[in-house]
Amino acid sequence: MKKAQVAIEKTVFSAPNLKAQVAIEFFIYSTLFLFIVILAYVLVNFVQNTEVPEKQSLLVKELGQSFVDSINLAIKGGSGFSYNTSFAKTILGSGYKITVYETAPNSQIFNLLIDANISSSEYNSIYSLPSYKYKFDGNCWDQSGLGHTFNSTTCKNWLSFQNDGENLSLTKNR
């Protein structure tokens, strides 16, 4: 009979002790899973926040390059070439400024500067323009100390190019 009594005695592996162990393991695994989920969220959020300024900068650069490409097309088109194009009025809801300026007085070497302030960050890109005589027509070009500037939010979103063989006229109106 002694053997039967030993089997009935409570041991460390009895049912009430196993229930407590299962509950503890459940909370440990739940905590570990929650920690992994929070860590994954923080890492994804960090990666996205570092990519947003890069994407904004890329949008500004692409817009500036599209202006330069339009000017190159109008110059290569030669005498009598006329071209109208439209551009985005804003970049991600923010306006921008385009400035065309001569690198040195009477050098006829021009640069194009695009300046955008998006989400409290400032983005600038400078592009070289082909050596040519440029005329700025319309009531949207402001003569500044640096050159001829237009603000995208105060002007219509189109630009007209007219090449007469000697001059490239850039016409922008409000």
pLDDT digits (tens, 9 = 90+) for 77-112: 999 999 899 888 888 889 999 999 998 888 888 999
- pLDDT the model gives residue 66: 93
Residue 40's pLDDT is what? 96
- With DSSP H G I counted as helix, E B as strand and the rest as coil, what are the percentages for the chain, rounded to 5? 40, 30, 30
**Are the beta carbons of 153 and 116 closer than 8 angstroms?**
no
The predicted-structure confidence for 37-56, as pLDDT tens digits, reads as follows 999 999 999 888 888 888 88
CA 173/CA 136 separation, integer angstroms: 11
DSSP code at position 88: -
- pLDDT of 120 reads 79
How far apart CA 103 and CA 107 sit, in angstroms, is 7
Burial of 36 (0-12, 13-18, 19+ CB in 10 A): exposed
pLDDT, averaged across the chain: 86
Where do the domains of the chain lie?
51-171
Residue 77 corresponds to which amino acid? G
User: Where do runs of H (alpha helix) occur along 78-86?
Assistant: none
pLDDT score recorded for residue 33? 96
Residue 29: pLDDT over 90: yes
Are 162 and 132 in contact, with CB atoms under 8 Å apart?
no
